[in-house]
């Protein structure tokens, strides 16, 4: 697999009260097209990654909605898989290019969440869960709190271990102008923040954000660009929707399988990865991802490594995880997240990430999860030096 990432862009993530989803999409798309030096007329297909436009906005023809907004008549579809909608839209774009039917595909991820009452958004987000979970009154912090408890009991993970993830990712976001949050935080601040769903506290949780991101994919590199980044692995796996139906709750099996698929396609191993954007919707989720993606061989060991400053920018070890700040601190506009991850890794592999540039980043990975692990998407990217 060798799909050229021709152009990328993201809007700022955050509480964007004065901006509509249309404006966000236009900003991201214009940025990605300019970056790709590709005209809108040369786009053969549009995939829109989005979760909540139906429930929150009563809009369920979202491919055509944005095609009209952009003023083109390319093939279009919305792709939905809860919080993995963006990653799944990228995967569909990859399939479209590989199929030979499409030469240039525009992938858009977008979500506008802050225009709605928080309790309405929390209820809408349970659209990613099972009927039983909703009837039980569970929310996503509650589901990940159950997983966190399992990790604490089975592997001795502590609240302090989880807090270290938040500290790392808020530090990274403090270097990122398009992040939702910009202030470094301390472990003490995380541990002292309001309880949300025991053991998870406010600063263990990713925020409700607005934002859009866009990526232009192509069959071949564009002449003239010094270093085109390529997607060399794109894999999706599914698990039970209901957390209670799984035999393991300290690991996301869908992530393990999607990662195996992507590594195999790419002919790479976890130790080859220089930079990764992992799905840290809660701090515990990043610790599990470090193991599930093959970056660490045990949950407690992964936690110790984070606590000792690994996976952090400017650490002495090579792999940096969530240099953007991740979902945790860069923000999590649900459908945009999986597309933004591709934007971040592409910019890192091009050496365009400024203050948060990971040195010698040649191979990168993105990891996007829907629900409590019901669907996972892993992409592997490389630059021309790898």
Beta-carbon neighbour count of residue 153 at 10 Å? 10
The angle at the Cα of 368, spanning 255 to 136, to the nearest 5 degrees, equals 80
Shortest separation between residue 242's beta carbon and a second copy, angstroms: 7
309: helix, strand or coil: coil
Shortest separation between residue 252's beta carbon and a second copy, angstroms: 12
Is the CB of 41 or the CB of 131 nearer to a second copy?
131
Active site residue 308: no
Under the rule (CB under 8 A), what is the footprint of a second copy?
A: 45-46, 51-52, 54-55, 58-65, 67-68, 72-82, 88, 91-92, 94-96, 98-101, 123-124, 126-131, 134, 234-242, 245, 253-254, 257, 370-371, 374-375
Contact partners, residue 59, CB within 8 Å, separation at least 6: 53, 65
Beta-carbon neighbour count of residue 281 at 10 Å? 24
Asked if 230 and 5 count as a contact pair (C-beta separation under 8 A), the reply is yes
Annotated catalytic residue within 83, 151, 281, 330: 83
Is the CB of 33 or the CB of 321 nearer to a second copy?
33
Please return the burial class of 33, using the count of CB atoms within 10 Å of its CB with bins 0-12, 13-18 and 19+: buried
Is the CB of 99 or the CB of 194 nearer to a second copy?
99
Shortest separation between residue 193's beta carbon and a second copy, angstroms: 28
In whole angstroms, give the CA distance from residue 35 to residue 89: 20
Shortest separation between residue 55's beta carbon and a second copy, angstroms: 5
Asked if 13 and 336 count as a contact pair (C-beta separation under 8 A), the reply is yes
106 alpha-carbon distance from chain centroid: 17
Annotated catalytic residue within 149, 170, 279, 332: 332
Is the CB of 14 or the CB of 371 nearer to a second copy?
371
Shortest separation between residue 135's beta carbon and a second copy, angstroms: 12
Beta-carbon neighbour count of residue 105 at 10 Å? 28
The angle at the Cα of 119, spanning 20 to 325, to the nearest 5 degrees, equals 60
Is the CB of 44 or the CB of 307 nearer to a second copy?
44
Q: Is the dihedral of CA 301, 303, 304, 306 positive or negative?
A: positive
In whole angstroms, give the CA distance from residue 184 to residue 118: 25
Cis peptide before 199 (omega within 30 of 0): yes
Contact partners, residue 131, CB within 8 Å, separation at least 6: none
Shortest separation between residue 52's beta carbon and a second copy, angstroms: 7
Is the CB of 275 or the CB of 377 nearer to a second copy?
377
Is the CB of 254 or the CB of 287 nearer to a second copy?
254
Shortest separation between residue 100's beta carbon and a second copy, angstroms: 6
Active site residue 120: no
The angle at the Cα of 288, spanning 274 to 352, to the nearest 5 degrees, equals 25
What positions carry a catalytic annotation?
A: 83, 332
């Amino acid at each position: 697999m060798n799909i050229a990432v021709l152009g990328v862009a993201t809007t700022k993530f955050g509480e964007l009260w004065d901006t509509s989803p249309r404006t966000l999409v236009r900003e991201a798309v214009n940025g990605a097209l300019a970056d790709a030096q590709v005209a809108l007329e040369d786009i053969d297909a549009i995939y829109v990654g989005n979760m909540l436009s139906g429930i929150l906005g009563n809009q369920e023809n979202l491919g055509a909605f944005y095609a009209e907004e952009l003023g083109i008549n390319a093939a279009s579809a919305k792709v939905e898989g809860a919080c993995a909608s963006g990653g799944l839209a990228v995967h569909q774009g990859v399939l479209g290019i590989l199929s030979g039917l499409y030469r240039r595909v525009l992938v858009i991820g977008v979500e506008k969440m802050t225009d709605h009452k928080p309790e309405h958004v929390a209820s809408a987000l349970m659209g990613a869960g099972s009927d039983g979970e909703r009837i039980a009154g569970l929310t996503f912090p509650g589901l990940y709190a159950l997983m966190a408890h399992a990790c604490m009991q089975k592997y001795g993970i502590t609240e302090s271990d989880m807090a270290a993830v938040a500290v790392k990712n808020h530090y990274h976001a403090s270097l990122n102008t398009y992040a939702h949050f910009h202030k470094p935080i301390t472990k003490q601040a995380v541990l002292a923040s309001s309880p949300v769903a025991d053991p998870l506290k406010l600063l263990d949780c990713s925020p409700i954000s607005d934002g859009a991101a866009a990526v232009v994919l192509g069959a071949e590199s564009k002449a003239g660009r010094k270093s085109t980044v390529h997607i060399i692995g794109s894999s999706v796996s599914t698990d039970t929707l209901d957390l209670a139906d799984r035999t393991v709750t300290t690991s996301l099996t869908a992530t393990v399988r999607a990662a195996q698929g992507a590594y195999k396609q790419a002919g790479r191993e976890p130790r080859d990865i220089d930079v990764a954007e992992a799905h840290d919707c809660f701090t515990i989720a990043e610790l599990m991802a470090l193991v599930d993606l093959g970056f660490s061989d045990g949950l407690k060991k992964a936690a110790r490594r984070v606590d000792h400053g690994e996976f952090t920018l400017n650490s002495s070890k090579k792999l940096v995880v969530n240099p953007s700040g991740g979902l945790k601190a860069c923000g999590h506009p649900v459908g945009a997240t999986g597309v933004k991850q591709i934007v971040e890794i592409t910019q890192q592999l091009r050496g365009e990430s400024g203050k948060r540039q990971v040195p010698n980043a040649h191979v990168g990975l993105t990891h996007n999860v829907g629900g409590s692990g019901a669907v996972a998407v892993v992409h592997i990217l490389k630059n021309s030096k790898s």
